[in-house]
Amino acid sequence: MSDDPGNSPQAAAAGSAADRIRVVLVGTQHPGNIGAAARAMKTMGLRRLALVAPRHFPHAEAAAMAASAGDVLEGASVHADLAGAVADCRLVLGSTARDRRIALPQLAPREAAARVVDAAGGAEVALVFGRERTGLDNRELQLCHCAVHIPSDPECSSLNLGAAVQVLAYELRLALLEAGEVEGVGREQGDAIASHAELEGFFGQLHDTLDQIDFHKGRNPEAAMRKLRRIFLRTDLRAGEVRLLRGVLADAQRMARLAGR
Ligand code: SAH
């Protein structure tokens, strides 16, 4: 545990965008919620936890609720106040159960996650959660650039702290996967969204192949290409998928050559 997030072992090891995203829990009353938050984070690939004046920490209930996320708890930094926990952050978002009653720009979870992942490309970012009973006070909210509200039922708008961390950590995971910052199950390492040049290379080869296999038969080749481009541009092709498609085209071109076209 350390009081300086900039010098903590976690920060020293930080390399990826996920490692520059810090979850800050302010004034947590129930140690079980700290453990639940740590587990929620770890399941979504987040590791950096900062605690501001927790009522009980460390605590056996926190460890029990963390289950396999004990390392996140052990690496947590502890601070006297919120300003100390976010001093080195360039973007600070405060999550709040109250909708529209605060004088801060308010983001939906998905927008907030996109903003956080974008900023975490080059800077430290904090997502702050308040006390179980009273949330974040006005002074703490003033330290935040924006508020995030999970659009819960206004009749019962307050999620359990661990559940709120889980929802926002899940949105962060989706945004990190979308940005190619982390690897998801079934996606090959480095299989990023295809670049403009890779797609244009594929479209050029598709154009030539359609000629060679006499697909057009007198119809307008450009109209067909426009439709085909639309289909492929709709699908977020990965670089590896473009290589596979080009392999298929290369075989079709080889067959066309063999057939003397
Ligand atoms: N009665 C408190 C509820 C606190 S719940 C209040 O009115 O603020 C504990 C923390 O969980 C909150 O401070 C907030 O950080 C998070 N939280 C709970 N429900 C949320 C929601 N619907 N949207 C965003 N954060 C929420």
Q: What are the DSSP calls for 150-197, one per residue?
A: ----GGG-PPPHHHHHHHHHHHHHHHHHHTTSSPPTTPPTT-PBPPHH
Structural domains of the chain in order of their starting residue, each with its CATH number:
5-178 (3.40.1280.10), 196-258 (1.10.8)
From the CA of 161, give the closest atom in ligand 1.
11
Q: Which residues line ligand 1 (CB under 6 A)?
A: 95-98, 129-130, 132-136, 148-150, 152, 157-159, 161, 164
pLDDT of 7 higher than 70: no
| Alpha-carbon torsion angle 251, 253, 258, 261, nearest 10 | 160
Q: How many angstroms does the Cα of residue 147 sit away from the middle of ligand 1?
A: 11
Helix (H) or strand (E) holding 107: strand 106-107
Q: Name the helix (H) or strand (E) containing 71.
A: helix 70-74
Six-digit token pair at 217? 């038969």
pLDDT digits (tens, 9 = 90+) for 135-169: 999 999 999 999 999 999 999 999 999 999 999 99
Measuring from atom 6 of ligand 1, which residue has the nearest CA?
Answer: 135
Task: Give the DSSP letter string of 5-37.
Answer: GGGSHHHHH--STGGGEEEEEES---HHHHHHH
Residue 27 pLDDT exceeds 70: yes
Residue nearest to atom 9 of ligand 1 (CA): 132
pLDDT at 34 over 60: yes
Instruction: Pick the atom of ligand 1 nearest to 132's CA.
Output: 9
CA-nearest residue for atom 14, ligand 1, is: 96
Q: What is the identity of the amino acid at 119?
A: A
CA of 62 to the centre of ligand 1 (A): 19
Distance 145 CA to ligand 1 centre (A): 17
The residue type of 103 is A
Average pLDDT over every residue of 11-17:
62
pLDDT-derived band at 15, boundaries 50, 70, 90: confident
Measured CA to CA, the distance from residue 147 to residue 93 in angstroms comes to 6
- Name every residue whose Cβ is closer than 8 Å to that of residue 168 and which is 6 or more positions away in sequence: 95, 109, 112, 113, 127, 148, 150
pLDDT above 50 (res 10): no
* Per-residue confidence (pLDDT) for residue 190, from 0 to 100: 56
The structure's pTM equals 0.72
Q: How confident is the model at residue 11 (pLDDT cuts 50, 70, 90)?
A: very low
CA of 106 to the centre of ligand 1 (A): 14
Residue 257 DSSP SS3: helix
**158 CA distance to ligand 1 middle (Å):** 5
Question: For tokens 């508020």, what's the residue?
Answer: 147
Taking the C-alpha atoms of residue 64 and residue 66, their distance in angstroms, rounded to an integer, is 6
**Strand, coil or helix: 184:** coil
Single out the residue of 131, 145, 59, 73 nearest to residue 102, CA to CA: 145
